[in-house]
Amino acid sequence: MRNFAKSFAAVAAISALALTSCGREDPGTGNEGGGGGGGEAASGGFEEGAPIGVALPQKTSENWVLAEQLFNDGLTEAGYEPDVQFANGGVSEQQNQINSMITNGVEVLIVGAIDGAQLGSQLQEAADAGITVIAYDRLLTNTENVDYYVAYDNFQVGELQGQALLDGMAEKGEGPYNIELFAGSPDDANAQVFFDGAMSILQPKIDDGTLNVVSGQVEFNQAVTQGWKAENAQRRMDTLLSGNYDSEELHGVLSPNDTLARAILNSVKDAGKDIPVVTGQDSEVESVKSIIAGEQYSTINKDTRDLVEHSITMVEGLAAGEELEVNDEESYDNGVKVVPAYLLEPQIVTKENAAEAYADDPTLSELVK
C-alpha cells in the first residue's frame, strides 16, 4: 500500500497546492482537505457551542471505550456540544446515527467507522451540508467526502509488531521459528495496513527460511479475524493447532491487537502447548498484566488521550477557520483520493520498557510498577 500510495505523492502535492491556492482565491469554496465541500468550516469557521458529531464503531477494544469519555469531556471543555455515539448494532446503526447527526446540524463529523466503505451516501450528505469530515483512527474509503484522517501510523504499528515478534523469539532461542499470522477485520481499512507493515518485516525472513508459517496461511485473506472478535481468533487458532502442531512447536504468533492476542494465548493454553511469543496492540489492561506476568510478549502504546486531544485541536482549528496541519499527504489513498493525514507515532511496549512507556498513564502505571 505504501509503495502504491507513494506514487501518488507528486500528484497529491500538486493537487494540495492547487486546492490551497484556489481556497485562497475563493474563500467560499472547499477547504484545504478538498473533500466534501467543508468550505463553511475552513473559510468562516463556526461558533462556540456548535454541535460536533462523533460516530464510534463497536466496542471491539478498550481504546474505543476510552475515546467516548475523552471526546465527551474534551469537546465540552473546549466549548462544543458533543454527540458521541457507538454503533454496537452494526453498520446500519452507524449510518442512521450519522444521518441524525447531520440533521441535528453538526459542524464537524468525526468518524471511527465499522466499515469505512459503507458510509458513502451519509458522507455525501455531510458534504452537501458543508460539514467537515474527519476519519478517526480508521480510514473512510471509496469516498471523496472525507477531509482529513487522524490516527496513529498504522503501517508503523505493523512494522513494530513484526519486529517485536522476531525480537521476542530471538530472546528465547535460535531459529528457524514456526509461526502463525493473524490479521484484523477486513472491513476495517487498518487491518490490511497493520498486516502489510508486519509483513514488510516478516516476509524477507519467510523467504530466507528463518520463519516457517507451518499452516501455509500467509495471505491477508487467510489470516483475517472477522469483526475483530476474540472468539473468531480463538477458533482459528484452535484449528491451526490441531491441524498443524501435533508434533511441531509453535514459537510465535503475529496478533494485530491485544484482544486477539489474549484469545490466541487462551487457545494455546487449552491445547497444552508452550506459550509462544505473541504480539498485540492497544495497551489493554488485561494484556499489560499478561506482559508483566511474562505471557503476552508485546503491545503497542497508542495513547487514546493524545489521539482524541489532537482531534479536538482539529475541531478548534476548523472553528477558527484555519487550515489544518497535516504531516502525511501520500500514504492514505482511499481509492478515490489521497486523504491528508495527521499521524501520531506508536510505541512498542514489552516487559522491559513498560514502566517507562506508561509512566504518565494513571491506570497502566500502577500495573507496571
Q: Which of 51, 80, 207, 67 is nearest to 137 (CA)?
A: 67
Min separation Cβ 53 and ligand BGC, Å = 19
Looking at the Cβ atoms of 86 and 177, the one nearer to ligand BGC is: 86
Instruction: Count Cβ atoms within 10 A of the Cβ of residue 251 and give its class: 0-12 exposed, 13-18 middle, 19 or more buried.
Output: buried
Min separation Cβ 264 and ligand BGC, Å = 14
Min separation Cβ 153 and ligand BGC, Å = 11
CA distance 184 to 125: 30
Site for ligand BGC in 241-260 (CB under 6 A): 257
* Count of residues interacting with ligand BGC (CB under 6 A): 12
Q: Which of 92, 145, 154 is nearest to 118 (CA)?
A: 92
Is beta strand 132-136 parallel, antiparallel or unpaired with respect to 298-301?
unpaired
Q: Which residue has the cell 465540552?
A: 76
CA distance 366 to 368: 6
Residue 188 engages ligand BGC in binding (rule: CB under 6 A):
yes
Min separation Cβ 295 and ligand BGC, Å = 19
Residue 262 engages ligand BGC in binding (rule: CB under 6 A):
no
Residue 68 engages ligand BGC in binding (rule: CB under 6 A):
no
Beta bridge partners of 134: 110, 148
Residue 282 engages ligand BGC in binding (rule: CB under 6 A):
yes
Residue 161 engages ligand BGC in binding (rule: CB under 6 A):
no
Residue 228 engages ligand BGC in binding (rule: CB under 6 A):
yes
Min separation Cβ 257 and ligand BGC, Å = 4
Min separation Cβ 86 and ligand BGC, Å = 12
CA distance 338 to 33: 10
Q: Interface with ligand BGC by CB under 6 A: which range of 60-68, 86-94, 208-216, 312-320? A: 60-68
- Cα dihedral 218, 222, 224, 230 sign: negative
Residue 144 engages ligand BGC in binding (rule: CB under 6 A):
no
Residue 187 engages ligand BGC in binding (rule: CB under 6 A):
no
Decide if 83 contacts 131 (C-beta within 8 A). Answer: no
Footprint of ligand BGC (CB under 6 A): 60-61, 63, 137-138, 184, 188, 190, 228, 257, 281-282
